[in-house]
Amino acid sequence: MTARSAATIASLVVLCGSLACTSFYEIPIETPIQPKMDVSGFSRVLVAGFLGGGTDDVDANLETVRLLRSQLRSKSSLRVVEAEVLPLAELAAKQGQAAGDSNGVAASPGGAADGQQSTAQASTHELRIQNEKDLERFQSIFADVAFWKKLGEEYQNPLIVTGTVLFTPHRDAGMVMQEREWYDQFGRRRVTPVRTYMERKGFILTPKFIFIDGRTGATLYSEQFREEVLYNAQQNTPALSTYFELMDKLIPSFLNALSTQKIRGTRVLLK
């Protein structure tokens, strides 16, 4: 027996020995995350509308309502109410005017028709939401219990989903790590990380989801998120696809407010 074959046999013996000592089995698991709210009292959900703004490239109200309704339809047990998307900013502005005129009478949640009427009253400039400060002017609508109760009555007391969505353009410049590709003297491909100055642009998405009890008009739960993405300034990514990219990251957390979500992973069982 040569020294080489002896070494091979010895290493095989060691390998077999170590495998016998450490028997393990990788197994896929699904960890259930309990919902943050008890929605057992509701059979229907109404995604009413959002105070949306930040950019003119995306209608944050309309897109958010569409996306959440489609997600809830496929991933929750609640029946999704199909209704007109509420122009919440217009209703809130109208409500503000009414409050000024006659000491806080709530605006009618009658939907788009009322909203269109109020558009004539409130100028486009007043309704424009560009940042957090602009949002503050309309936020009082979420505390208007009578408004949400009335809306709930119209749709047979569902769970109401509303809130705010700011989708703002963002620019940034600074040093970033990039991978530089090069070929050495033998023609082999090499990749080296290098620090480079770069101008980047993208968007920041800050939605706040508010869950309201349609039977009472009271807020049950609310949660705010923040996601951002930056691309190379030369890259031309449509605002709408960036919006969906960022919302994709938040949707599991949104759904987890209403229903159990499962996180897939693997663990190692030992013997």
Burial code (b: 16+ CB inside 10 Å, e: under 16) for 194-206 equals eeeebebbbbbbb
Among 223, 227, 228, 245, binds another protein (CB under 8 A): 223
Stretch that binds another protein, among 26-34, 110-118, 195-203, 236-244 (CB under 8 A): 26-34
Stretch that binds another protein, among 24-32, 132-140, 163-171, 231-239 (CB under 8 A): 24-32
Please report whether residue 24 would count as binding another protein according to CB under 8 A. Answer: yes
- C-beta of 20: minimal distance to another protein in Å? 13
Please report whether residue 256 would count as binding another protein according to CB under 8 A. Answer: yes
Please report whether residue 263 would count as binding another protein according to CB under 8 A. Answer: yes
Please report whether residue 265 would count as binding another protein according to CB under 8 A. Answer: yes
Stretch that binds another protein, among 122-130, 133-141, 187-195, 260-268 (CB under 8 A): 260-268
Residue 67's closest CA among 248, 257, 265, 260? 248
- C-beta of 164: minimal distance to another protein in Å? 16
- Specify whether the CB–CB gap between 228 and 170 falls below 8 A: yes
Q: How many residues bind another protein (CB under 8 A)?
A: 22
Q: What are the backbone angles phi and psi of residue 251, rounded to the nearest 5°?
A: -55, -45
